[in-house]
Amino acid sequence: MNKDIFVVLMAGGIGSRFWPYSRNAKPKQFLDVLGTGKSLLQTTYERFLPVCRKENIFVVTSQEHWALACEQLPELHARQILAEPSRRNTAPCILYAAKKIASLNPNAILVVGPTDHLILQEEEFCDTIKQVAEQAAAQDKLVTLGIQPTRAEIGYGYIQYREGDSPLKKVKTFTEKPESALAKKFLESGDFVWNAGIFVWGVQAILEAISTHLPEMTEIFADVTPALDTPAEKAAIELAYAQTRNISIDYGVLEKAENVYVWLCRFSWSDLGSWGSLFDYSAHDENNNAVTGEALIYDSKNCLIKGEPGKLIVVQGLDDFLIGSFDNVVIVCKKDNESLFRKMVTELKNKTKGSEYL
C-alpha cells in the first residue's frame, strides 16, 4: 500500500434535495440512504481502505457535525476529522486539508471526493485510484475522474477532453449543468464525460495551483500553517474562513489551470443527488415500487416509499410519487422534480416557524 496516498472526504453538505429525510441536524452523508446498515460516510470511508491506510484518511465537515462524524468513524483519530466553522464551498475545504496533510507528508498524493455518492464495481474503482495516483506522484498534474455518460443528464457537470491513446486525457473545457439541448449534443459528440467530483493530485501541485489562481485565499490561509496541530488551530481556521469567499475548486482553479487532466473511468457511478437517482439504484417490487419500511400498497407503481420503524404507510392509486414519513414531516409529491425540493426548503427557511422542519 502506497504510504503517500492520503484521502480527503468532504462531508460538509446539507443535502437539501433529499429533504425531508436529510435534515440540518443529520444531512444525507450521515444517513443510511441505501438501506445497507451503514451511512454514506461510513460506506465511503470503507471504500478507500484497500488503497489507503486509515491513518491517512481525513474528513472535512462542519463544526456542527464534527461530533457526529467522530461517532460514525471511531477508527479515526479526532485530529483526522477537520471542522469547518462555516460553509465556503470546496476550495477552502481542500486548501485546509491540503495544508494539514502537507505538514505531515510533503510528498503526499491527495484523493479528494464527496461522501454521498454511489460507486459500484468497487474493485475497479480502487484499481483506478491506484493508477491515477501513480500519474499524480510527480506533483505536476491535477486529475479529475470522468464517467462515461449514459444519458443527456442536466444535473451533472461535463468535461470535454482532447483525444489520446491513454485513459488520462488533457481537459479541454468544463461545463456545469448544461441545458437539455446542449447535454444532448455533449452525449452525441463522444468526447464529453460526466465530472464525478473526485480529484487526484499531489499536495504540492494543488497548493501551487491555488496560490496561482486564488492568491488571496492562499494569503488568508498563510497564518494557518504554523497553528496546525496546536491549540491555536481552531481560532486560526475560524479567522481564515471569516475572510475567504465562497468558491468551488472547479471554478476557482480547475477551469483556469493548464495542467488539468481527466481519467476516463469504467465503474458505475451516481451522485445520489436526488430522490429520483435513489429510486433508480434501489430494489424494486413487481410494480416497480422501491420500498423501505412498512407499507401496504394498492394499485400503485413506480413509487419511492420510505418510512421509519414503527410507522405503517398505506398507498393507493399513485404513479411516480415519493411517499415518505420522516420525524415530524410527511411528504407526498412527484419524486423527480429536484427544483421542487429546493423550493420547499427555501420557503421553510423564510417561514417564522419553518426551522423546526429543516
pLDDT digits (tens, 9 = 90+) for 112-134: 999 999 998 999 999 999 999 99
Instruction: Enumerate long-range contacts of 172-181, CB under 8 Å, 24 or more apart.
Output: 174/250, 174/254, 174/255, 176/250, 178/154, 179/154, 180/152, 180/154
DSSP H helices in 73-179: 90-102, 122-136
pLDDT value of position 209: 98
Please report where in the chains the cell 491535477 appears, as a residue: 142
Q: Which three cell numbers stand for residue 288?
A: 416497480
- Find the range with the poorest average confidence among 140-144, 220-224, 347-351: 347-351
pLDDT value of position 1: 82
Question: What confidence tier does 352 reach under pLDDT thresholds 50, 70, 90?
Answer: confident
- On average, the pLDDT of the chain sits at 94
Q: Is the pLDDT reported for residue 336 higher than 90?
A: no
C-alpha 180 chain-centroid distance: 23
CATH class label, 5-270? alpha beta
Measured CA to CA, the distance from residue 119 to residue 267 in angstroms comes to 7
CB-based contact 22:28 (threshold 8 Å): yes
CB-based contact 261:168 (threshold 8 Å): yes
CB-based contact 135:141 (threshold 8 Å): yes
pLDDT tens-digit series, residues 40-59: 999 999 999 999 999 999 99
Q: Is beta strand 294-298 parallel, antiparallel or unpaired with respect to 142-147?
A: unpaired
CB-based contact 91:210 (threshold 8 Å): yes
User: In this structure, is the dihedral angle defined by the CA atoms of residues 161, 118, 8 and 59, taken in order, positive or negative?
Assistant: positive
Q: Which three cell numbers stand for residue 116?
A: 454521498
pLDDT value of position 192: 95
pLDDT value of position 15: 82
CB-based contact 114:197 (threshold 8 Å): yes
Residue among 97, 74, 75, 73 at smallest CA distance from 84: 97
pLDDT value of position 355: 84
Residue among 315, 270, 317 at smallest CA distance from 293: 315
pLDDT tens-digit series, residues 239-272: 999 999 999 999 999 999 999 999 999 899 998 8
Residue among 304, 281, 267, 316 at smallest CA distance from 124: 267
Provide the 10 A C-beta neighbour count for residue 324. Answer: 22
pLDDT tens-digit series, residues 270-315: 988 889 889 998 999 999 999 998 999 999 999 999 998 899 999 9
Question: What confidence tier does 353 reach under pLDDT thresholds 50, 70, 90?
Answer: confident
**Domain positions in the chain:** 5-270, 275-357
pLDDT value of position 13: 87
CB-based contact 66:81 (threshold 8 Å): yes
Q: Name the pTM for this structure.
A: 0.94
3-state secondary structure of 46: helix
pLDDT value of position 164: 78
Question: What confidence tier does 342 reach under pLDDT thresholds 50, 70, 90?
Answer: confident
User: In this structure, is the dihedral angle defined by the CA atoms of residues 227, 228, 231 and 235, taken in order, positive or negative?
Assistant: positive
Q: Is the pLDDT reported for residue 236 higher than 80?
A: yes
Q: Is beta strand 118-119 parallel, antiparallel or unpaired with respect to 109-114?
A: unpaired
Measured CA to CA, the distance from residue 62 to residue 190 in angstroms comes to 39
